[in-house]
Amino acid sequence: MLNQMNVRGLLFDPYNNAYIVILRDEQNSDMLPIWVGKAEASAISFALEQIAPPRPMTHDLMKTVLDNMDAKVISAVITDLKDNTYFAKIHLLFGDSEFTVDSRPSDAIAVALRTEAPIFASGEVLHKQNSEELERWLENLKPEDFGKSDI
């Protein structure tokens, strides 16, 4: 079963020097945090804040390439979680066929936000990630850990 997710924001994780993309389902009952690198966080943040950079960034190029090929992004799906690594698939419509392309969640989210495609997470992924552990981690965050940081 797939759950539609919204990107609620980005946090800086000072302990791992990485960024966390927070996805929530529509009812706001399930949360999925995904750790991403700085460049990927920046790509997601530009799309969230609708900033148009002077030169196309890698994910803007990704969208332009797909547009030029007349391929449409149907959806991005976070499919699995194995050894702390999330897996995703990008579903494309090209001609009359659907194509499924393996991707990191960060790329899938960055391209979905730019093409206004929905983002889903499988029930299995939501079940696997231990939300209790996350909430404990979030409680330890200080207010200054939030915000735009330096991306």
Partner 1 sequence: MTETNTLIPLKVHGVLVDPNTDTQIVVLRDEKNSEVLPIWVGTAEGTSIRLALENVIPPRPMSHDLICSFASHLGFTLNKVVITEVKNNTYFSTLFLSKDDLEKTIDSRPSDAIALALRCQCPIYVTPEVLERRGGEDLDTWLSKLDQKGSEQSEKTDI
Q: Which of 47, 66, 76, 126 binds partner 1 (CB under 8 A)?
A: 66
Contact 125, 73 (CB under 8 A): no
Q: Which stretch binds partner 1 (CB under 8 A): 4-12, 88-96, 120-128, 139-147?
A: 88-96
User: 71-82 and 119-122 as β-strands: parallel, antiparallel, unpaired?
Assistant: parallel
**38 makes contact with partner 1 (CB under 8 A):** yes
**71 makes contact with partner 1 (CB under 8 A):** yes
Which long-range CB contacts under 8 A does 128-134 form with residues at least 24 apart? 128/81, 129/32, 129/33, 129/81, 131/30, 131/31, 134/31, 134/33
Q: Which of 16, 17, 68, 140 binds partner 1 (CB under 8 A)?
A: 68
- Tell me how long the chain is: 151
**58 makes contact with partner 1 (CB under 8 A):** yes
**85 makes contact with partner 1 (CB under 8 A):** yes
Residue with Cβ nearer partner 1 (7 or 110):
110
